[in-house]
Structures are given as C-alpha cells and as structure tokens.
Amino acid sequence: MNNILIALGGVCLLGGLAAACGDSKVDTNQFENTPPGGGGGPGAGGFATSPGGATSGGGTTGSGGFVSGGGGTSQGACVDAPGVDDDLDGWTEAEGDCNDCNPGMNPGAIETLNCEQNDCTKGNPLPDADQVDEDCDGAVLKAGEKLPACDDDLLSKPSIDSAFDAARAIGLCNVKVEATPADKKARTWGVLEAKFVRLGASVLSGQDTPYQKTEFGILPSFGGGSKAQEGKMFLALSSGVARAPGQPDFLPFACEIDESISKGTNDKFPAGQWPKQGTCPGAGDPKDAAALDLKVRVPTNAKSMGFRMRFFSCEYPIYTCSSFNDVFAVLVAPLGGDASNTILEGGARKPAAHVLDQGDPMYPNVAFEIAGTKKNVIGVNNQSFFTVCKPNALAPGYTKCTGNDGDLGGTNFEGHAASAWLETRYPVTGGGLYAMRIAIWDSSDSELDSTALMDAVTFYADGGTKVETVIVPDPE
C-alpha cells in the first residue's frame, strides 16, 4: 500500500507548468509516523485519487494527512454536480476545480510528488501515471524530474531590490499574489505582502521601511560551513552585517566591544509579550533590530508549514545568561477578515489554526531551540542551544557546545558560537491567510552582533497541533 509523501521545498508555477522551487524531498512522516491503514471506511467525500488509506476511519478526517481512505461517501462515489462546489473547497468546475470530488485538488493547492513510503527522501517518486494534478494547471510533477528552485535568478549584491525577493530566497516562490482576484482561478497560495519594517510597528501595519543594506542579505553560503538548504540562496538577517567576509558589501567588524556594526537604532517591542529570554532570566530592550513582515496564503492542501534556521552570535561565551540576550524570532498568526481564505468543512468555514506557544498571544513565536519539553526562544541565554564553538571556549552551563568549530570558519564569528541547522514546523489551516514577522535584534546595547540564516520554507500534507523543532543535517 502506498503513502503520499510530498516534496515541497518551495513550489511555484513556471511558464504555466507546475515546477517545485527547490530540490529538497521531504517525507511527511518525518514528524508524524502515522501507520498506514486498511482502505478506510466510508468517509465524508474522501480523497478519490488517493491510492491508499491512512486510518481505519477513512474520509477527510483521517490523521494521516492526504492519504485517507479510498474515497466516496456513505452512499458510494462522489456525485459531481456541475456548477456546485461538491467537495466544499471553495471552487467549482467553472472556477477551475479539476476534481470536484477531492478538496485537495483546486487552483489554490500546491503540486506534490507521490512516493512509496520513505522513497521521496531517496529521490524515487512513483511513475508518472501515479502523479496527480493537485493545483489544476494541467500538468503534473514527473518522476525523476529535476526540481528547479525559485531563487536561481537571485544574486548576492549590496542591497535587496525588494522584500519579495527576501521571500523567494527562503522558498516562498509565488509572490505578489492578489488577495481577491476577479478570476477565482488566480486565487493561489503565496505571498500577498512583503515589507522591511522597524520592530516597534505592529505586524503588517508598518510601512515598507528603508533599511540599511547590511541588515539583510541573499546569500549562497555563509562561511565555509553553511550553504543553502533548498535552491541556491538563503536569507540572512543581522543586528550587525548580514554578510561573511568576501561577500558583496561586507563591512569589517570584530566580536569585541566598540568593534561591532551599530546602526544606532533604539527599537521597541509592539504591544504584547514578545520573546525576550531563554533558560536564563532577564533581557534588555531591543537595539539594532531588523524585521521582515510577510502576508502569506498557504496552499489548500497544506496542514502544516515549516522552515530551517541557524543562529550565530558574538555574545558567546562572555555575555551569556545576561541582559545582553540577542534574539531571533519568527512570529506567525492567522488573519481574519477574508471569508474566502479557508476551506469549507461540513458546510461551514473552517477556522484558521492558532499556534499556541510562547510569545505574544496574537503573534506567537515559532522559532525555538531544542531543550527537552521547554521551548526557549532562539538567543544567547539558552544553555542547551549552541552546539558549534571554539574548543575550550565553554561558557558555564552550556553543555552542548562540544568544541566543534569548523562551521565558524570564514564567518567572522570564529572563536564564538553557532547553533546547528534547526527545522521548525507548526500547524496551519489549508487556504488560510497568515501574518509572519521574521526578526533579529541585540538586547540592552548595540555591541557584539548576531546573525541568523533562514531557508527552505516548506508546506506539508500532514501536521500535528503543536510546534516542533528538530536538528537537521546539511543537505547532501
């Protein structure tokens, strides 16, 4: 029996044909190991094109994502009435739905690769005959097809032309998407708004702010040990300079007092409880912050969303467990006010999933370190966080930093510390609109800078009800 696994390291439409933007192949069972079921019993419409069953319950309520039972209603096969939204996904045939018995197929869905269980991680999708046109564009991903990235044409240069390019660098290929297009076929997933903002503005309310070109960078690598996790580029953002030595517009700095890159900005937090500390108490007000706001509509067939990140800091090892807790945060929250942004379920609109974790109640943080069951914000005050550091440069209580400092080479953070690559994943509602703020800042003063890398935004056809973070190896 087959499971449907998806490869979605950023997916876009190129020249009217479906093409995945990124060559990462992701096993949807990486976070949830739901065993395959029998064929499923009668369900609420089911997924008629699915080759197997996820749970004995079948239908659209199975816990295994888009691998639910063989489809059909309790009376038998789906009755596809022309001009009626039979699968309650928001589209009729006239509006572009190419399979009105399958809510996972419509113009707002994202193209996937169907694979034997675990084989997508080995590059072995099923033959072409088993592929499905989820986004109803008339084409399917083909077995063995090389998946181009949506950031191939982005280049490292002194400044970023547009905040939408920053979105593309992390794998969000569809940009400048219309909120309410006249042609419903154009209501696709993607980025509706992208802005560089000051930290004190409420999420998505600030103006697109002129930024110092050192704050953000679109880079192919960072030093000798960090490379793109999907495609050719990733996004760097920094409280100092988001470049490594030798890259365009790098500004020399040192991890010493009075030798940092200071932008001279005294920032503030928006109203609410923003993440400030970690395993150690105390953190000062933000300085030299850099923030990117995105408004994203997720694909209708997505149940969770994730990204990869890495953090470097000059504050280690001297200013750990102090008020100088430099922080990297990614805040995500569903947006209301758009009746067409969520799929129908049982005749009623399905509310967007909230991510209930540490941070502002309306804009919770989803970027965490790995520290058992406690979720600590990405920052310097986390004693289980840094895993890459100079030999013998161990700060008190930092038990994970074992002295493997190879990935610090060529970054200008030599002698200090970095995290491993981490992947975080959180639940979303298919078709929902979400606000995202990606931000980094110094705490208490502008000295001793930190830099974060972000890449490989990915949508998944399965997902749980909580935020999860795992350590991931570099891609081969």
* Residue 444 pLDDT: 82
* Residue 350 pLDDT: 57
Pair of tokens at residue 213: 């070109």
**Measured CA distances, 90 to 61, 132, 182, 245 (Å):** 18, 19, 14, 50
Give me the torsion for CA of 333, 471, 397, 408, rounded to 10°: -100
Radius of gyration of the chain (CA): 22
* Residue 391 pLDDT: 72
- Helix or strand run (H / E) with residue 328: strand 327-334
**159 C-beta neighbours (distance < 10 Å), count:** 14
**Measured CA distances, 186 to 63, 103, 172, 174, 192 (Å):** 30, 17, 17, 11, 12
What type of residue is 222? Answer: F
Q: What is the domain partition of the chain in residue ranges? A: 1-148, 151-476
* Residue 67 pLDDT: 27
- Tens digit of pLDDT at every position of the chain (476 positions): 222 333 333 432 222 222 333 322 232 222 222 223 333 333 322 222 332 222 222 222 222 222 222 233 333 467 788 889 988 888 999 999 999 998 889 999 988 766 655 555 555 666 655 678 899 988 887 666 655 678 888 888 777 889 999 999 999 989 999 988 888 888 899 999 999 988 887 788 777 776 777 889 999 999 999 999 988 999 999 999 999 999 988 888 888 888 877 777 777 777 665 676 777 777 788 888 899 999 999 999 998 999 999 999 998 888 888 888 888 999 888 886 554 444 554 555 555 555 544 444 445 788 887 755 566 788 888 877 888 987 777 787 787 887 778 899 999 999 999 999 999 998 888 888 899 999 999 888 778 899 999 999 999 887 766 788 888 887 65
**Whole-model pTM above 0.75?**
yes
- For 458, phi then psi, to 5°, come to -135, 140
